[in-house]
Copies of this chain bind each other. A is one copy, B any other.
Amino acid sequence: METNSIQADPPSLFDFAVEAQEDQARAGLFNTSHGMISTPAFMPVGTQATVKCLTPDQLKIIDPQVILGNTYHLHLRPGSDVIESLGGLHRFMNWDGPILTDSGGFQVFSLATMRKISEDGVTFQSHLDGSSCHLTPEKSIGIQKQLGSDIVMAFDECPPAGLDRISLEASVDRTTRWLARCRRTPLGTHQGLFAINQGGTHLDLRKKHLDDILTLDRAHAFEGFAIGGLSVGESKDVMELTLQDLVPRLPKNRPRYLMGVGTPEDILKGIELGVDLFDCVSPSREARHGRLLTSRGRINIRNAVHRESEATLDPDCNCYTCRGFSKAYLHHLMKADEFLGLTLNTIHNLSYTVNLTRSARIAIQKGRFASFARATRDHWKPESKDQ
């Protein structure tokens, strides 16, 4: 018997389809076993198995496509064995959407003390209790397997900005060898591995590293590619120049993830240059300090000018905070050190950032991304001073 309609095969796990493209900017669909990720997407950070100040229900309304978990933090507390025994990270934190776990590399190099790097891995002291820990590519992958995330990040070395070139070369080469070891370490059947490009501000090192990564990408070994170390104190020009040169060299049929970025301006720039995924603690951290992102520019809600303002935070925002509360109330909550202020601010800043990538996606689909980006930036002009 024949059917009249032709049905497309359902996408395979980790298929990445570019649905629309405008210059370098892409609208894509990335398939995971916890659901399809529409890109471009901003991933809220859930360091300790919670996106700070939000319940999973509040997060679901914001509707991020994917969220982050942190290998380093969860390994130290409560322990990845505990999370595994409780059914994995999704169940532990009651989040059934896609989760990406970082490898712990960045945290080992930014939080831990007494680091000793060897070919095998990194020995360090826990920032919690000073106990000695050892992380290797195999261990990082093993932990992420226990956590059961959808996207697993390769364990890399994150060299400090301004490292001398000789040391940086050695570091990048070690990261390549660690990537080969990550690739050989078995994952859960629903998990996919992302490789991370390093090389600091040296474009030639980054390109060489990318060549080495692509050599390791035999038979589609990696489900995506990340660019690391571009949010650690580099100027925006360096980020832009690096992405301009690097992104076109990445496979077109795999998602591209710019790690640790960021601000609305940087996200727009990244999308323009062909990046699909972003993450950053800044929108939620800024929220907890009362610094709020709006379509009319940044607002510091603690400022006295908001003390009696009946207006909502952002007339173009439909989030829970903007639907129900005045700026005066948000101002009061921060002044009175009320937890609810942190929650309402976080809901807004994450909604703003997630909606920015969602709007960018729609604009790309309509071939209007360039004008969307221009209009959005107009509201963010440097001369429009913070309120």
Contacts and interface: CB of A to CB of B under 8 A. Distances in A.
A82 to B, nearest CB: 5
B340 A339 contact: no
A320 B93 contact: no
Nearest to A346: B339
A58 B49 CA distance: 21
A328 B78 contact: yes
Contacts of A308: 82, 85-86
A332 to B, nearest CB: 5
A310 B344 contact: no
Contacts of A310: 85-87
Given A78-B335, A82-B308, A332-B77, A326 B48 contact: no
Interface in A317-360: 320, 324-326, 328-329, 331-333, 335-336, 338-340, 342-344
Nearest to A324: B94
A333 B82 contact: no
A199 B338 CA distance: 34
A69 B92 CA distance: 36
A320 to B, nearest CB: 7
Nearest to A309: B86
Nearest to A73: B336
A49 B338 CA distance: 9
Nearest to A323: B94
B329 A93 contact: yes
A2 interface: no
Give the residue among A77, A326, A340, A343 with the most B Cβ atoms within 10 A: A340
A324 B307 CA distance: 37
A328 B92 contact: yes
Contacts of A55: 58, 320, 340, 343-344
A11 interface: no
Contact of A332 (B78, B328, B335): B78
3 A-B pairs with least C-beta separation = A94-B324, A48-B336, A50-B340
Given A48-B332, A86-B326, 5 more contacts: A53-B340, A55-B343, A78-B332, A86-B310, A92-B332
28 contacts: A48-B332, A48-B336, A49-B329, A49-B332, A50-B338, A50-B340, A53-B339, A53-B340, A54-B340, A55-B320, A55-B340, A73-B336, A77-B332, A77-B335, A77-B336, A78-B307, A78-B328, A78-B332, A82-B328, A85-B308, A86-B308, A86-B310, A86-B329, A87-B310, A92-B332, A339-B342, A339-B343, A343-B343
